Amino acid sequence: MKSIYDYRCENLQSVRLKFKTISEMAEFIGTSKQSMGQLLNGNRKLGANLARKIEELLDLPINQLDQSDASTPEEVDELSKEIAKRIIKSNIPPRKILAMIDALLVEDE
């Protein structure tokens, strides 16, 4: 089973095609050519913060790089995008968000 990092790496490779060179892509995103190369070849994991930054810079839907098929943004509905925006703005650690969701699910049972 692929991890979210695998999807991000694959989708970043697709994004790479929008640039003439890795250096151009790295400069646009604000990282080094070496770091970009490591991200593209999977030797370095693309974290959530950088993934969101790349999506914002390239005007992609939030969490687009996390999708199994980044070529179909319709898969991410408007509610999911709004939730993701609010989570990012809140700066709440992901584990706490999961704990809150679990607590809400328990209350509904």
Alpha-carbon torsion, ordered 31, 26, 17, 1, to 10 deg: -20
Identify the pLDDT of residue 108.
46
Q: How confident is the model at residue 70, as a pLDDT?
A: 56
Q: Is 103 buried (19+), middle (13-18) or exposed (0-12) by CB count in 10 A?
A: exposed
Residue 41, Cα to own-chain centre: how many angstroms? 16
What pLDDT shows up at residue 71? Answer: 52
What DSSP element (H or E) covers 63? none
CATH number at residue 60: 1.10.260
Neighbouring C-alpha atoms within 13 Å toward the C-beta of 98? 3
Residues whose CB is less than 8 angstroms from the CB of residue 37 and which lie 6 or more positions away in sequence, other chains included: 22
User: What is the band of 81 on the pLDDT scale with cuts at 50, 70, 90?
Assistant: confident
**Residue pLDDT, tens place only, 5-41:** 999 999 999 999 889 999 999 999 999 999 999 999 9
Q: What is the DSSP letter of 66?
A: G
Domain that holds residue 45: 4-108
Query: Domain tally for the chain?
Result: 1
Checking if the pLDDT of 76 tops 70, the result is no
Residue 13 or residue 105, greater confidence? 13
Output the six-digit token pair for 1. Answer: 């089973």
* pTM score: 0.63
Cα 79 to Cα 15, 31, 34, 57: the distances in Å are: 25, 31, 36, 21
Over range 89-107, report the average pLDDT.
Answer: 81
What pLDDT does 85 receive?
Answer: 80
